[in-house]
């Protein structure tokens, strides 16, 4: 049977588009915060609305694939993300910002679930591990989106242009992908039971918790790196965006060679060493904040985290009788961390200050370092028990 090459390319384009949008949003967060005169705590509330929208939408997104097919569901949710992305630039106050971020978070969370589910189907048809390539496309999109946003800010384009201009590119990518090859592969999955969401089983609970911690760090870096650097360095918005750009670039570069790294060093070492490298980078940024350490430190965070989540997803898939079940459990926990982490940092900043709140991320990375290696090495219990 021929490999689904066109479908893989189309899905890679959706991952790229979604990452591009999140990157563009990340570098606009400080300007939106300043334009609405928001405190750190108020921004945390707004980001919580984003997380809440995603958490509500994620279980519902799983019901779209049986109804429309995973390819068509991904196309529809990609269009919803395109519509929602510019909305935060149009609002005049915190209340409306929370409302539109609720919608944007719902669109983004549902798209995350759908495109990863479709990618998992493609990986099964491909008959070899290719999940890192999809995550590499997302990271590359984050890099390009952040770089584009920084360039737009350098040109003194307003907040509306900072989100609308990237959105035009994203919309074109999603449209082309949908027309070319966003379609179903094989029969549609059965609809989930009416009870909906299922908690991770005992066999994958530890892997799900590690995914939560890793993606909590990733989400916090996306939403708070520019805010922290701008408040600490008192520089231009484009300078503050350098931290996230370094993070996104190093993560994208390392994910391109992710499968090779796992094959050469083993999944256990990739996770353990990656957690240590990420913790070191975060400690460097928080302990000695300047332009150089921001670039180097956030680049180290990207290097460390780059391939941990794909390894965890693979281990979770091997820990259940049906790989898709384990992957979906770990992915749901991971994206919950990605979305919940930033507002938690905001709330913590309101009480302890932003730097102290961000120290939680160092602890999270160290936990991954200490526990993660053994967790991915001891997978396969459920599968072998049968």
DSSP string, 161-192: HHHHHHHHHHHHHHHHHHHHT----SSPPPPP
User: Tens digits of per-residue pLDDT, 148-182?
Assistant: 998 999 898 999 999 999 999 999 999 999 888 77
Residue 312 in this model has a pLDDT that exceeds 70: yes
Query: What's the pLDDT at 196?
Result: 46
Output the pLDDT for position 386. Answer: 32
| Arithmetic mean of pLDDT, 340-350 | 87
- What pLDDT score was predicted for residue 381? 38
The residue that leads in pLDDT, 45 or 62, is 45
Query: What confidence score (pLDDT) does residue 58 get?
Result: 78
* Angstrom distance (rounded) from CA 63 to CA 44: 30
Q: What is the average pLDDT across 247-261?
A: 85
User: How far, in Å, are 32, 95, 235, 278, 350 from residue 37 at the CA level?
Assistant: 8, 13, 18, 32, 15
Average confidence (pLDDT) over 324-342: 77
- Which candidate, 178, 115, 108, 68, places its Cα nearest to that of 338? 108
Task: Find, among 139, 180, 136, the residue nearest to 10 by Cα.
Answer: 180
Query: What per-residue confidence (pLDDT) applies to 259?
Result: 75
Lowest mean pLDDT among 46-60, 192-206, 260-274: 192-206
Q: How far is CA 77 from CA 103, 242, 297, 334, in A?
A: 12, 30, 34, 20
What's the mean pLDDT in 354-377?
92
Examine the pLDDT at 272 and tell me if it is beyond 60.
Answer: yes
Query: In this structure, what are the phi and psi dihedrals at residue 182, rounded to the nearest 5 degrees?
Result: -85, 85
Higher pLDDT, 329 or 368: 368
Structure confidence at residue 279 (pLDDT):
97
More confident site: 275 or 248? 275
Looking at residue 321, what is its pLDDT?
58
Confidence band for 377, pLDDT divided at 50, 70 and 90: confident
The pLDDT of 289-297, averaged and rounded, is 87
Alpha-carbon span 277 to 92, nearest angstrom? 41
Q: What is the DSSP letter of 319?
A: T
Question: What is the pLDDT, as a whole number, of residue 367?
Answer: 96
Evaluate if residue 97 carries a pLDDT over 90: yes
- pLDDT, residue 195, reads 46
* Position 324 pLDDT exceeds 60: no
- Helix runs in 127-241, H state only: 131-154, 159-180, 202-233, 237-240
Q: Are 128 and 313 in contact (CB under 8 A)?
A: no
Report residue 127's pLDDT band, with 50, 70 and 90 as the boundaries. confident
Average pLDDT over residues 342-363: 90
The answer to whether residue 88 scores a pLDDT higher than 90 is yes
Identify the structural domains of the chain with CATH numbers, from first to last. 1-187 (1.20.1250.20), 199-386 (1.20.1250.20)
Alpha-carbon span 242 to 232, nearest angstrom: 13
pLDDT at residue 190 in the model: 52
CA–CA dist 48, 321 (Å, integer): 35
**Greatest extent of the chain over all pairs of C-alpha atoms, in Å:** 61
More reliable by pLDDT, 320 or 120? 120
pLDDT score for 237:
61
What integer pLDDT is reported at residue 193 of this predicted model? Answer: 52
For 109-118, the pLDDT digits (tens) are 889 878 887 8
Q: What is the pLDDT of residue 65?
A: 67
Residue 199 pLDDT greater than 60, yes or no:
no
> Which of the pair, 136 or 214, is modelled with greater confidence?
214
Min mean pLDDT across 62-66, 94-98, 146-150, 340-344 is at: 62-66
Position 384 scores a pLDDT of 34
pLDDT tops 50 at residue 383: no
């Amino acid at each position: 049977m021929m490999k689904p090459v066109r479908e893989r390319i189309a899905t890679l384009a959706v991952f790229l588009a979604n990452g591009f949008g999140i990157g563009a949003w990340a570098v606009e967060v400080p300007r939106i915060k300043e334009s609405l005169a928001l405190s750190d705590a108020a921004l945390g509330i707004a980001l919580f609305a984003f997380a809440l929208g995603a958490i509500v939408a994620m279980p519902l997104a799983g019901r779209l694939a049986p109804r429309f097919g995973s390819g068509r569901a991904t196309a529809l949710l990609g269009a919803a993300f395109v519509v929602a992305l510019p909305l935060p630039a149009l609002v005049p106050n915190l209340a409306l910002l929370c409302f539109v971020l609720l919608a944007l978070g719902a669109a983004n969370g549902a798209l995350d679930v759908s495109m990863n589910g479709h990618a998992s189907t493609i990986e099964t048809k491909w008959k070899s591990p290719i999940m890192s390539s999809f995550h590499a496309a997302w990271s590359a999109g984050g890099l390009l989106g952040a770089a584009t946003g920084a360039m737009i800010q350098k040109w003194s384009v307003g907040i509306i242009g900072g989100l609308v201009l990237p959105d035009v590119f994203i919309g074109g990518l999603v449209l082309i992908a949908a027309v070319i090859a966003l379609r179903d592969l094989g029969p549609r999955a059965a609809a989930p039971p009416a009870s909906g969401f299922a908690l991770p089983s005992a066999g994958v609970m530890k892997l799900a918790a590690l995914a939560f911690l890793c993606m909590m760090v990733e989400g916090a870096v996306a939403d708070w790196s520019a805010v922290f650097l701008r408040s600490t360095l008192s520089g231009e918005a484009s300078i503050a965006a350098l931290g996230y750009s370094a993070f996104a670039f190093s993560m994208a570069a390392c994910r391109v060679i992710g499968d090779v790294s796992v094959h050469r060093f083993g999944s256990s070492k990739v996770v353990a060493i990656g957690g240590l490298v990420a913790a070191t980078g975060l400690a460097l940024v928080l302990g000695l904040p300047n332009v150089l350490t921001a670039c180097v430190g956030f680049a180290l965070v990207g290097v460390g985290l780059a391939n941990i989540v794909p390894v965890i997803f693979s281990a979770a898939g091997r820990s259940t009788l049906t790989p898709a079940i384990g992957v979906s459990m770990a992915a749901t926990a991971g994206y919950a961390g990605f979305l919940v982490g930033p507002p938690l940092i905001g709330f913590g900043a309101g009480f302890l200050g932003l730097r102290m709140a961000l120290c939680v991320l160092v602890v999270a990375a160290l936990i991954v370092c200490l526990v993660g290696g053994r967790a991915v090495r001891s997978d396969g219990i459920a599968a072998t028990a049968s």
